[in-house]
Structure 1
Amino acid sequence: MTDDLSGRAARARGALAQALADSGDLSDPRWRRAFEEVPRHVFVPYFYDPSGERISGDDPATYEQWFTAVHANRSLVTHRTGGAVTSSSSQPSLMATMLRALTVEDGVRVLEIGTGTGYNAALLGHRLGDDYVTTIDISPDITAPARQRLATAGYSPLVVTGDGCLGHAGRAPYDRTIVTCGLSTVPLALLQQLADDGFLLAPLGNALARIRPTGPGTATGRFLPGGAFFMPLRHTPADGAPAFRPPLPAGPGRPSALPAHAIADNHFRFLVSITAPDLTWQYDLDSDRRITGARVWHPDGSIAHLHPDSTVTEAGVVWVGLEETYRTYQAAGRPTPDRYGISIRPDGQQVWLDSPEGPAWDLDAP
């Protein structure tokens, strides 16, 4: 059975790598070999489907579903804490995009924030060598299995248990730091641990930013095209509890200046992820999976309900803020993420549009 799985998995990896190459996500031959040779099934022995059911390679009833999903271009939930999703294996095409954006060469030292399953660390180790890869995650419930799976697959990067915001000074400086969990601000320790000509690649809001230090406590960067959806960086093992929805607002609605179709616009949602990073959404969908209504709330208790008739009922100012963001977005010509940049100074961090002198938004400290 093991030999059969090994051969079948190798063929499936080859097909996935070919699909990623055909789509333009995997153009570097050395990264392609990594995707072809690193066994993703070792790192994802099970995952959870949207209903929370465990889909496992050890269960004959779910084996085929597991095998197909592990070798498909999709993200997979791999860890839950108290019922909340706290770790996943990212979509391979997004992983390939990030690895390409690292622009590595032999001898480059990489720090990865967010070990997860260990799969991305294995890809890095395959390309660069284990001695050049350090990876960190917050909980031993994540790092211990990742370390074991890496060993099973034949890789041995340094796996550290700790707060990713603090990085790992013991191996600094790093030529590249890659963050595989979502940030609301850039941890300054990660910039301080970079080599003079190094850079950090991280999902900030819903897009990737490449950020270079420019001096003590200062840095600047630009966002890359496209979206990047990652689970938030956790500072303690208990982070990740679900955000419970406040009571729905009652009373008559008012016409909404934010239409339902805009909620599905990923470029608009990127700006929202910067201006209001702590929102939780629920959607109403029609038979074609188009958004017809939504509920959105903030941890401060603000909540709004967009109805299918394009009216909104609200408690607090969350929807007013979204409408203002939408007006800004439209006035700027519906900008894509690569029109934005970031400036980091000792007194704060700002995301700006087109230039540091353009419209700008302060990032709140975590």
Structure 2
Amino acid sequence: MIEAGLRGLRGLLAERLEAAGDLPPEWRKAYDAAPRHVFAPARGWAVPDGGGAGHAIDRDTDPDAWWESVYSDASLITQADDGAGDPATGEGSWTSSLSAPGAVFASLAHLYVHDGQRVLDVGTGTGWTAALLSARLGDDHVTTVEVDPAVADQAAKNLAVSGRSPHLVVGDGALGHAAGAPYDRVHATCGVQRVPWAWVEQTRPGGVIVTPWSPGWAYGHLLRLTVGRDRAVGRLVGSAGYMMMRAQRHPVPGRLGTRPEHRTTPIDPRDVAWDDYGADVAIAALVPGVVSATTSEGDDTMEVRVWDGDGSWATTGYQQGRRGFAVASHGTRRLWDEVADAYLTWVEWGRPARDRYGVTVTAEGQKIWLDTPDRVIGPLSPT
């Protein structure tokens, strides 16, 4: 790839991101200073942001396709099954990636960083986000934490090639990095069910925390918190589907071999699963511990599976031509009934949109609220 061609690919992606409103002007210089290809895997799996079929990429066997994928708005999977799998197959559990540029810059924009501020970057991954922060603020102002030693080692190599040298720490991002505190900003590139209190403790009053927030039900959300005297308070500001922090991964679903209870539900599962992000937040808050997975084949067939960490589960779905909606469930909780009831509660609230919800984090835990922090609708961790 000649330099002129590379500049063309990088410039075209920047133009597309800017046209979509995903590359703020204050981050354009950082984009140019931290070339994405330096952080891309030689082999991996490309997943277009916003949907579309994934595909393998290999710099050696198909360099043209590799370059096109690197400079597209796609996530590039760099690790599967915590290093035990082959990410280039697209199979297994994806456990590290080079995130899609649009999602990266949307998250960074919510930091509202100023010159001279110090940032804690949680989830180094390939090192690209740390490089962008370093290009924007300076290497000495960025501390980045990665839990996986092999991932951190590759990130260090990538950062060296790019000419960036933030402070790279191998450790549990849930603990932050107290030695570098206080920070003005905390930025996470992994999903959390619960915002770690350590992040709040290590952030200056008035500082900002931006993190993917993934309570378990449906897709994740982007959460922006501001730190006060003894708590952090903020709202959900968008979508964010990221791999979970290893210390907070969701429980795996229970086995379906146990004899289930069978019944029907009057509510169309498509309404519950696909209606609105605001409904997703309400369900997550009102049904503690619920995790979901939805599969579909167009509009003709869909299935929703829900479970918790204590062995309860339920499945339901829609099939064209059937008049009822069958439910199979097992365990001490009737999880689908809880989910459907939470959905109808959201309807009766007037269908509030996602941006009306917020989260308060204290040393005792976190709670979700609607409209104002005093209107708590559900604890999402012990209080």
The answer on whether the counterparts of 2:197 and 2:363 sit within 8 Å (CA) in structure 1 is no
The answer on whether the counterparts of 2:46 and 2:75 sit within 8 Å (CA) in structure 1 is no
Q: Does 1:102 align with 2:119?
A: no
- 2:89 corresponds in structure 1 to none
Letter in 2 for 1:10: R
- Residue by residue, what CA displacement relative to the aligned partner does 1:80-125 show, whole Å, maximum 9, x if unpaired? 2244321122221111111111111211111111111111111111
What is the aligned counterpart of 1:31 among 27, 30, 38?
27
Q: Does 1:12 align with 2:22?
A: no
Q: Unpaired runs of 5+ in structure 2?
A: 48-52, 85-91, 215-219
Tell me, in whole angstroms, the C-alpha distance in 2 between the residues paired with 1:179 and 1:358: 27
Tell me, in whole angstroms, the C-alpha distance in 2 between the residues paired with 1:69 and 1:159: 27
Letter in 2 for 1:228: A
Q: How many aligned positions are there?
A: 353
- Residue by residue, what CA displacement relative to the aligned partner does 1:42-72 show, whole Å, maximum 9, x if unpaired? 11123235799853213x1x43332222211
Helix, strand or coil for the counterpart of 1:87? strand
Q: Does 1:271 align with 2:254?
A: no
Q: Does 1:315 align with 2:312?
A: no
Task: Spell out the pairing of 1:43-54 with structure 2 (5 A cutoff).
Answer: 43-45=39-41, 46-48=43-45
The answer on whether the counterparts of 2:78 and 2:97 sit within 8 Å (CA) in structure 1 is yes
Q: CA deviation at 1:139?
A: 1.1
Q: CA deviation at 1:209?
A: 1.8
CA distance change for structure 1 residues 53 and 95 in 2, over 3 Å: closer, same or farther? closer
Q: Unpaired runs of 5+ in structure 1?
A: none
- Residue by residue, what CA displacement relative to the aligned partner does 1:308-338 show, whole Å, maximum 9, x if unpaired? 2433222232212211221122122222221
User: Which has the larger displacement, 297-306 or 134-143?
Assistant: 297-306
Q: Does 1:259 align with 2:269?
A: yes
- 1:360 corresponds in structure 2 to 377
Helix, strand or coil for the counterpart of 1:34? helix
- 1:215 corresponds in structure 2 to 229
Tell me, in whole angstroms, the C-alpha distance in 2 between the residues paired with 1:365 and 1:179: 22
CA distance change for structure 1 residues 213 and 229 in 2, over 3 Å: closer, same or farther? same
Letter in 2 for 1:162: G
- Residue by residue, what CA displacement relative to the aligned partner does 1:134-154 show, whole Å, maximum 9, x if unpaired? 110111111110011011111
- 2:88 corresponds in structure 1 to none
- The alignment's TM-score, normalised by the length of structure 1, stands at 0.87
Q: Does 1:56 align with 2:58?
A: yes
Task: Spell out the pairing of 1:184-203 with structure 2 (5 A cutoff).
Answer: 184-203=193-212
- 2:65 corresponds in structure 1 to 65
What is the aligned counterpart of 1:284 among 270, 287, 296?
296
What is the aligned counterpart of 1:351 among 356, 362, 368?
368
Helix, strand or coil for the counterpart of 1:143? helix
Q: Does 1:124 align with 2:133?
A: yes
Q: CA deviation at 1:197?
A: 2.4
CA distance change for structure 1 residues 295 and 64 in 2, over 3 Å: closer, same or farther? farther
Q: CA deviation at 1:261?
A: 4.0
The answer on whether the counterparts of 2:253 and 2:307 sit within 8 Å (CA) in structure 1 is no
CA distance change for structure 1 residues 359 and 258 in 2, over 3 Å: closer, same or farther? farther
Q: CA deviation at 1:190?
A: 0.9
Identity %, equivalent residues = 35
